[in-house]
Structure 1
Amino acid sequence: MDMAQAFALASGALVATNLASIVIAGLRLDRAGAPPPDLRKTPPVSIVVPVRGIENFSGETLERAFRLAWPRYELLFCVAHASDPIVPLIEAAAAAHPQVEARILVGDDRVGANPKLNNCVKGWQAARHDWVILADSNVLMPPDYIRHLMGGWRRDSGLVCSTPLGSRPDGFWAEVECAFLNTQQARWQYAGEAVGLGFAQGKSMLWYKPMLDANGGIHALNAEIAEDAASTKLVNRLGLKVHLVSAPFEQPLGRRKGREVWSRQCRWSRLRRVTFPGFFGPEILLGVLPPLLLALAAVLLGDMRLLPAVLFVLAGIYLPEIALAFAKGWRLSRWSVPAMIVRDLMMPAIWLRAWLGGAIDWRGNTMTIGTQACELEEAPAGS
């Protein structure tokens, strides 16, 4: 086999791997809006929601949290400072829905360098029920939110969670973020879970509280800078598995700027690099650039024609992505393919950035994430 053939086969292998991941994820996922599994038991649930500042859709996400179709649940909103501008909105939503148990818990528990986990500690300790959901404030909870999470619990589950599904983008950079969240990150996470490599996502995590309390409680999630990475490792040590809901929950995006998308993706990439370096390394092979460059090398070294080789790679990467989004009812627009291309051009730079040190921003918190230690410098609330 000559070098041209080797490059061509390597390019084809990456395209085939991409297609396989989409097929596996497609078989694992339900279409958006699909009903949750039937449940025989509906125990009471505590939902811990760390909040900080007002986001694009805060009014709607708060309203949704108070309208869940579950016999009994409580909402525990955790805020570091009583002066946070989100507090009046929570109070107004709670007053409009007195039938739902809701509390606002104020305090700044510094158990580690993860600001979200610090904010959740008081909620976990105050939770009255055995089943606890840690839910990000920007999750747009459907009425059957709890039912989906509880329906994902199996005999060997240690944790059930959901990836964020980007929706309602306003502007091109929000479309790029949808391309990152949906057919890239969510697709690979569901494909991984389907083959036994499930890992947690911090957006929505359902825990059986007695189980976690018997193994260090919420403080055990401080073992890593990212609570989802610590959750994954803890569950695996217990011989249990991380499972995903049948269909991910929406995260409405609104307006996004390019630097915001860059900063957020660099932060997540750096966290993956620090917490799961063995899985992070191969991420450089994702996207359209690696197979495209290999195909171009095959063209230069052999007698292949340029246009068919390029079209093969582009069609092999993007057509299955489009098909997955269409089949599952995810975001698709005339900007989706350009957004996917921009995403794939960004991915190698983001991957390289993850290997470098330096500070990153985490919702107003300046963080330095290293392989041995992490430092946190918190900004004032509302900044």
Structure 2
Amino acid sequence: MTLPLPSAWWLLVALCCAAAVYAVCAALTMPRLGSMAEVRAAARRARSRAPVAVSVLKPLCGAEPRLYENLATFCEQHHPSFQLLFGVSSTADPAIAVVHRLQAAYPQHDIELVVDPRVYGSNLKVSNLMNLAARARYDALIVADSDIAVEPDYLDIVTAPLADPSVGVVTCLYQARSIGGFWPRVGALFINEWFAPSVRVAHSTGSRAFGFGATLALSRATLERIGGFAALKDCLADDYLLARYARDHGLATVLAPVVVATDVIEPTFGTLWLRETRWLRTIRSVNPAGFASLFITFTSPWLMLGGVLAALLAAGSAPLAAALAGSGGSTTAALAALGASTAGSIIARGLLHARSSISWRMFWRDLPLVPLRDTLLALQWLAAVFGSHVVWRGVRVPVANPEAGETRVDGATRSVPARGVSPRGAPTRRAAVEVSDGR
């Protein structure tokens, strides 16, 4: 059933105004988390406390661009006591040579390579983590994705909150760096100007319903309390659910002020589309209500719609004027609302782009991409609404698997009994997937 024209008209006006309000909030919250002053203050507070020895678990798969440079930042930490555990599942993995380079360059650090092919479930990343966790020497653990680069105070800052027994998981945001040409630049805008601001807005309203693979710091006691990494072995959104399971036990999720860097390397439109729709469908699988509300965050399409409607009204469109009169409204009120929302959206979107850019050169270079980025995101959201699969490393994986004997719980497909491994631990023919958070 369609809405009467007057109601539909005022609904569009209200949505344009709501999108403008969100854009303003996103722009204003940008400097509040991850600013240099806040990071320096957090580092000073962390160094004033007794340091926590920590084991860093880094699951690897393949030699990504800048892998050595990213992993080396974990070797440049000011933290006095840490262990670096790098895990691969095959002796032929090219990441092994990168780890050997690290061991040669930083002989003073505790760097261990774990090559273990054992698979415990459909999520190969979690199987890798289970193999790494068995070699961890310390009670504080950090899980961090392979394409993350960090500052020297990183370990101090993210481990400090674990001294509070009410804290379950510490996570952090990330800023994207484009590696390559045009499409990596577009992909970096996805993270820097949509994903990160949406988290900041949610955080400023008190939400803590997140967990990012860029960093997940927790104690061994917390991990054991939620059932270990084994509880995630068949989960698609393993990072989100790790923090979620800790919250289910009454333990808080803390968003650390430090912002790490991540690389965007997708060279083509097709690879970028697959990656970003995978992120959005994963969000849909674990948070359907939050996913449904995302449409209001795509600023440019709403801005353009508001401008078109305002232009039609200003030009004296008879059908629209009649619709307004029939609903008890006025052309003047609608024009004022649309004018304010359009102007507010333009200013806020420009401010958000400026605060997300690391230099004025980058600001002007990528400014023409902003409408493309927002419109592409809206189309990807629509695709994610109707899609039922994600693609990871060429493997097509259902978001929800109705296969007999399996149930889907919070984004996880659980087998009863588990069918990811044979009774002797050897992998079966069931397709496995290695997933990360949304990067």
TM-score category by the smaller chain? 0.7 to 0.9
Distance 2:221 2:359 in 1: 37
Q: What residue in structure 2 maps to residue 19 of structure 1?
A: 24
Work out whether residues 24 and 194 of structure 1, in 8 Å CA contact, stay in contact via their aligned partners in 2: yes
Q: What residue in structure 2 maps to residue 184 of structure 1?
A: 194
Q: 1:166-194: CA deviations, max 9, x gaps?
A: 02443221111111111210111122123
Q: What residue in structure 1 maps to residue 372 of structure 2?
A: 342
Q: 1:251 aligns with which of 255, 262, 269?
A: 262
Distance 1:309 1:317 in 2: 12
Distance 1:5 1:226 in 2: 38
Distance 2:267 2:99 in 1: 24
Work out whether residues 33 and 200 of structure 2, in 8 Å CA contact, stay in contact via their aligned partners in 1: yes
Q: CA deviation at 1:63?
A: 2.0
Q: Superposition RMSD on alpha carbons, in Å?
A: 3.0
Whether 2:330 is the aligned partner of 1:321: answer no
Distance 1:280 1:255 in 2: 24
Q: What residue in structure 1 maps to residue 84 of structure 2?
A: 75
Q: What residue in structure 2 maps to residue 120 of structure 1?
A: 129
Q: What residue in structure 1 maps to residue 317 of structure 2?
A: none
Larger CA deviation: 183-192 vs 2-11: 2-11
Sort the Cα spacing of 1:318 and 1:21 in 2 relative to 1 into closer, same or farther, 3 A. closer
Q: CA deviation at 1:331?
A: 9.2
Work out whether residues 103 and 111 of structure 2, in 8 Å CA contact, stay in contact via their aligned partners in 1: yes
Sort the Cα spacing of 1:89 and 1:202 in 2 relative to 1 into closer, same or farther, 3 A. same
Distance 1:124 1:77 in 2: 11
Work out whether residues 15 and 316 of structure 1, in 8 Å CA contact, stay in contact via their aligned partners in 2: no
Q: What residue in structure 1 maps to residue 363 of structure 2?
A: 333
Whether 2:205 is the aligned partner of 1:195: answer yes
Q: 1:86 aligns with which of 95, 109, 119?
A: 95
Whether 2:288 is the aligned partner of 1:277: answer yes
Q: What residue in structure 1 maps to residue 107 of structure 2?
A: 98
Sort the Cα spacing of 1:310 and 1:336 in 2 relative to 1 into closer, same or farther, 3 A. farther
Distance 1:323 1:313 in 2: 15
**Residue aligned with 1:355, SS:** helix
**TM-score, length of structure 1 as denominator length:** 0.88
How many residues in Structure 1 have an aligned counterpart in Structure 2? 378
Once the two structures are superposed, the pairs formed by residues 230-249 of structure 1 within 5 Å of their partners are: 230-249=241-260
Q: CA deviation at 1:282?
A: 0.7
Q: CA deviation at 1:315?
A: 0.9
Structure 2 residues without counterparts, runs of 5 or longer: 1-5, 313-319, 322-330, 402-407, 415-419, 421-429, 435-439
Work out whether residues 78 and 104 of structure 1, in 8 Å CA contact, stay in contact via their aligned partners in 2: yes
Distance 2:432 2:225 in 1: 31
Structure 1 residues without counterparts, runs of 5 or longer: none
Sort the Cα spacing of 1:120 and 1:366 in 2 relative to 1 into closer, same or farther, 3 A. farther
Q: What residue in structure 1 maps to residue 172 of structure 2?
A: 162
Distance 1:217 1:228 in 2: 13
* Rg comparison, structure with higher value: 2
**Residue aligned with 1:132, SS:** strand
Q: What residue in structure 1 maps to residue 316 of structure 2?
A: none
Q: CA deviation at 1:257?
A: 2.2
Work out whether residues 122 and 433 of structure 2, in 8 Å CA contact, stay in contact via their aligned partners in 1: no
Distance 1:166 1:244 in 2: 18
| One-letter identity of the residue aligned with 1:224 | C
Sort the Cα spacing of 1:84 and 1:366 in 2 relative to 1 into closer, same or farther, 3 A. farther
**Residue aligned with 2:170, SS:** strand
Distance 1:214 1:64 in 2: 31
Work out whether residues 167 and 331 of structure 1, in 8 Å CA contact, stay in contact via their aligned partners in 2: no
User: Identity percentage over the alignment?
Assistant: 23
Q: CA deviation at 1:321?
A: 0.8
